[in-house]
Structure 1
Amino acid sequence: MNKFWIMLTQTYMNRIKSKSFVITTLVSIVLIFGLSNIQSIIESFNNDKTKEVAVLSDNEEWTAALQQSLKNNGKITSTAYSGTLDEAKKEVEDENFAAAVEISESDQGLPQASFYSNQIASTEVSEPVKQALQQVKVNMVTKQADIDPAVLQQISAPVTFDLVALEKSAKTAEELTQTRGLVYIMLFVMYFSVLMYGNMISTEVATEKSSRVMEILISSVSPVSQMFAKIFGIALLGLTQFCIFILAGFLGIKQGVNSGNQSFLDTVGVTNADPVTIVYAVLFFVLGYLLYATLAAMLGSLVSRLEDAQQIVAPMMMLVVASFILAVFGLNMPDAAFITATSYFPFFTPLIMFLRVGMLDIPLWEVLLSISIMVASIILLGIIGARVYRGGVLLYGKSSSLKDFKRAMQLSKKEN
């Protein structure tokens, strides 16, 4: 047991001191601070100066109506321009105006416009002007048709549509919104965790094999201890990194709130998430990590070159991607038959079953069954993985995937 802890500590310390860990952590911290203060960052780059638009039209009524409509937008004003269109364009090029709008009469006698600006990629000015002119057109048509503006306002008003679940235990619309935010977070955390830490485990084994260190280790430490020492060592590394991220996120969100901006957690709707749902998120994440980490260690033992490590874990990455895609589809139809069926497939369970638990009121036995299947799969994969690892660490040369799997099992039997 002492050797197990020595290898676990060695794996942890080697990785936490690596340049890749330091750089990844620093970049992630910057991204976390950026996301939690995105509103302040956007506002700091925005120019608070009011943008002025030159309006050219022979119809003074339309010009006045457009000016009145744009008053609701505090960042854009319009000015009746008395010069020619070419002169207005020159004013725009000289940046005296943000844009020039020429309003003319269509064949139906309604206003139509051409918008001139140095750049049309941004809709910051053009879209508000377009909406204001649309309002002018609507008011004009309403007046011509002798329609009461109050009636038109009632027609345009959105219909009241309340979602009410008849089952007492069903999730409310607010709870579903909060769960969706938590599921989105779980999706990305699970995906990037498997992608990052799964590759770490496989490359860790491949690195030791490529340096022939494995031949020394295997003579003093059992392959099973080696495999699980690497799995839990990388898990401890991940826990350290996540603690740093959580601390950075807390400080970033606190700074954003102090600046008067809405909290990022409020934006994604998880501030008032059900504590039981959060417990399930942690549980399925841990089980998912153990499952994929065991698979990654087993696959990593089959290769002896770093360039082969990426290739051999590709099928595992495809499982994560497939689970991710299914979960995204399941957000809008969590009670679909294919979502229910795939939630019991162990490699999909961490995301799909968590999705169902968060968004539906499913019986407890279904949750326990899925957890039992995952635990049994981890144990089975651990037993098979230990045998493959025992023989795989003795394999050298170019990897041939399935053939190496068979050879590793045969070498493991010989070792026994």
Structure 2
Amino acid sequence: MNSFWIILFHTYVNKLKTKSFFFTTLLTVVIVLALTNIQNIIHTFDKNDGKEKVAVLDETGQLYNPLKKQLSTINKDITLTLYKGSLEKAEKKVEKGDYSAIIQLRYNDEKLPEASFKAMSIADSALFTDLQTSLQQVKTMLAAAKIQLTPAQLQKLYEPVSFNKVALEKNAKTEEELNQARGLVYVLLFIIYFSVIMYANMIAMEVAIEKSSRVMEILISSVSPIKQMFAKIIGIGLLSLTQLAIFLSVGYVSLKQNMESLKEGFFGVYGFGDIPVGTITYAVIFFILGYFLYATLAAFLGSLVSRIEDVQQMITPMTLLVVGGFMISMFGLGKPDSTFITATSYIPFFTPMIMFLRVGMLNIPAWESLIGIGLLIATIIILAIFGARVYKGGVLMYGKSNSYKDIKKALQLTKNK
């Protein structure tokens, strides 16, 4: 057992000290900080501090004030300025950067407002959309006045229809709870997806590197291949937890500090104020089980190749399984209670993501999640037993090995030992 712990900590410490681990961690931390500080970064690079100044050429002499009033209710960062000069002079002001855009107001043949919008570039659709929406509201009010609708009648006309959602299922989640669950599941699904791919690939590469350098021949003379396999899996598993702890800690602290500025975007719709402990618990369980499932698979697939160049080809089907589970989960975010999602959540290679999706978004019976966890554990044990036998023979195979027929050869070598 002592040799097992030596290999485990050797794998963990060696990977922890590598430049790739340091730079990957640093780069990811920078990305996390950038995402959680996105509003501050945008304002830093925006010379107008996020504010837009628009010149208004009002040919009617009547539309400027109503438009300004309507726009203030939509976007207070857009400032309208009534421009008295010619269009040519206004265009030069835009070219100099004094104004972001020009809007010309006039009446059509029916005495209703229309406009032209001019800017250096029309790629910024947000500014145009806000101005268009404001002018549309002005037009609606004028049209209502022409057909003699009172303000009360107009308000009644545009009053949203009352349409209540009622879930008949006992203890079903509310709309607000579903939005929060959807956002949380969305984020955690990405963490599970990228972690499984990255760390499973790392294990396969680790085995292939040792084989290509002939280190394996020295190791198997003193330590059994099975101990090697599980020591590497657990060692890199600890490495993944170390890295994730850094990412989540930095992300959580930064998110808490910038929550006010992020309320209008993704985090405004999918709040993270009160994260259920049960959801986090299931996330940890399915992450660990998903890791061990794919790590075991990656270890014995990596043992079949002798060259680093062949690793990606050998583990491509495994990667496609992870991608498949992730894509199904993305579909399931919109329809978590569909029969297809329910059925695929019991397929072990998809369970870590899809069963977690169902647990996070639905109030499913505990026995369903326990069946999923049980199937995962059973599959991991089967893969571990089978994988250990393949690994034991695979580490002795050298030469060009990029076919799944090599699994049979590895099993035969194991029997002959």
TM range (shorter): over 0.9
> Does structure 2 conserve the Cα–Cα contact (< 8 Å) formed by 1:171 and 1:361?
yes
For 1:273 and 1:195, locate their aligned partners in 2 and report how far apart those are by CA, in whole Å: 26
For 2:262 and 2:175, locate their aligned partners in 1 and report how far apart those are by CA, in whole Å: 25
> Does structure 2 conserve the Cα–Cα contact (< 8 Å) formed by 1:37 and 1:255?
no
> Does structure 2 conserve the Cα–Cα contact (< 8 Å) formed by 1:56 and 1:103?
yes
- Normalising by structure 1, report the TM-score: 0.93
For 2:126 and 2:171, locate their aligned partners in 1 and report how far apart those are by CA, in whole Å: 45
- Normalising by structure 2, report the TM-score: 0.93
Give the secondary-structure state (helix, strand or coil) at the position aligned to 2:306: coil
For 1:75 and 1:126, locate their aligned partners in 2 and report how far apart those are by CA, in whole Å: 13
Moved more, 16-25 or 120-129: 120-129
- 1:50: how far off? 5.3
Tell me whether 1:4 sits opposite 2:17 in the alignment.
no
For 2:383 and 2:405, locate their aligned partners in 1 and report how far apart those are by CA, in whole Å: 18
For 1:244 and 1:41, locate their aligned partners in 2 and report how far apart those are by CA, in whole Å: 22
- 1:249: how far off? 2.1
Paired residue for 1:351? 353
Counterpart mapping for 1:158-177 below 5 A: 158-177=160-179
Paired residue for 1:48? 49
- 1:68: how far off? 3.4
CA distance 1:162–1:117, shift in 2 (3 Å): same
- 1:302: how far off? 0.8
CA distance 1:34–1:120, shift in 2 (3 Å): same
- 1:327: how far off? 0.9
For 1:71 and 1:363, locate their aligned partners in 2 and report how far apart those are by CA, in whole Å: 49
Aligned-partner residue type, residue 155 of structure 1: L
- 1:162: how far off? 3.0
For 1:174 and 1:215, locate their aligned partners in 2 and report how far apart those are by CA, in whole Å: 58
Aligned-partner residue type, residue 53 of structure 1: V
For 2:76 and 2:339, locate their aligned partners in 1 and report how far apart those are by CA, in whole Å: 50
Counterpart mapping for 1:130-209 below 5 A: 130-209=132-211
Give the alignment's Cα RMSD to 1 decimal. Answer: 2.2
CA distance 1:174–1:104, shift in 2 (3 Å): closer
Paired residue for 1:58? 59
Give the secondary-structure state (helix, strand or coil) at the position aligned to 1:77: strand
Paired residue for 2:121? 119
Q: Paired residue for 1:273, among 251, 272, 275?
A: 275
> Does structure 2 conserve the Cα–Cα contact (< 8 Å) formed by 1:178 and 1:269?
yes
Counterpart mapping for 1:299-310 below 5 A: 299-310=301-312
> Does structure 2 conserve the Cα–Cα contact (< 8 Å) formed by 1:265 and 1:271?
no
- 1:277: how far off? 2.1
- 1:15: how far off? 0.5
Structure 2 portions without partners, runs of 5+: none
For 1:96 and 1:273, locate their aligned partners in 2 and report how far apart those are by CA, in whole Å: 46
Give the secondary-structure state (helix, strand or coil) at the position aligned to 2:120: coil
Q: Deviations over 1:253-280 (max 9, x none)?
A: 34335x8765997764333132222211
For 1:179 and 1:196, locate their aligned partners in 2 and report how far apart those are by CA, in whole Å: 25
Aligned-partner residue type, residue 226 of structure 1: Q
> Does structure 2 conserve the Cα–Cα contact (< 8 Å) formed by 1:67 and 1:79?
no
Paired residue for 2:29? 29
- Percent same amino acid at aligned positions? 54
Give the secondary-structure state (helix, strand or coil) at the position aligned to 2:221: helix
Aligned-partner residue type, residue 233 of structure 1: G
- 1:173: how far off? 2.5
CA distance 1:336–1:76, shift in 2 (3 Å): closer
Give the secondary-structure state (helix, strand or coil) at the position aligned to 1:241: helix
Q: Deviations over 1:196-235 (max 9, x none)?
A: 1011100000000000011111111111101000000000
How many residues are aligned here? 414
Aligned-partner residue type, residue 61 of structure 2: E
For 1:181 and 1:58, locate their aligned partners in 2 and report how far apart those are by CA, in whole Å: 47
For 2:368 and 2:50, locate their aligned partners in 1 and report how far apart those are by CA, in whole Å: 59
Aligned-partner residue type, residue 112 of structure 2: L
Give 4+ residue runs of structure 1 displaced > 4 Å after superposition. Answer: 259-267
> Does structure 1 conserve the Cα–Cα contact (< 8 Å) formed by 2:56 and 2:80?
yes
> Does structure 2 conserve the Cα–Cα contact (< 8 Å) formed by 1:48 and 1:75?
no
Paired residue for 1:242? 244
Q: Deviations over 1:82-115 (max 9, x none)?
A: 3332232222223333222222333443222111
Moved more, 259-268 or 218-227: 259-268
Give the secondary-structure state (helix, strand or coil) at the position aligned to 1:53: strand
Q: Deviations over 1:288-346 (max 9, x none)?
A: 11101100101110111111111211111111111011111112222211111111110
Give the secondary-structure state (helix, strand or coil) at the position aligned to 2:80: strand
> Does structure 1 conserve the Cα–Cα contact (< 8 Å) formed by 2:53 and 2:80?
yes
For 2:284 and 2:72, locate their aligned partners in 1 and report how far apart those are by CA, in whole Å: 50
Structure 1 portions without partners, runs of 5+: none
For 1:214 and 1:365, locate their aligned partners in 2 and report how far apart those are by CA, in whole Å: 44
> Does structure 1 conserve the Cα–Cα contact (< 8 Å) formed by 2:313 and 2:402?
no
Moved more, 339-348 or 272-281: 272-281
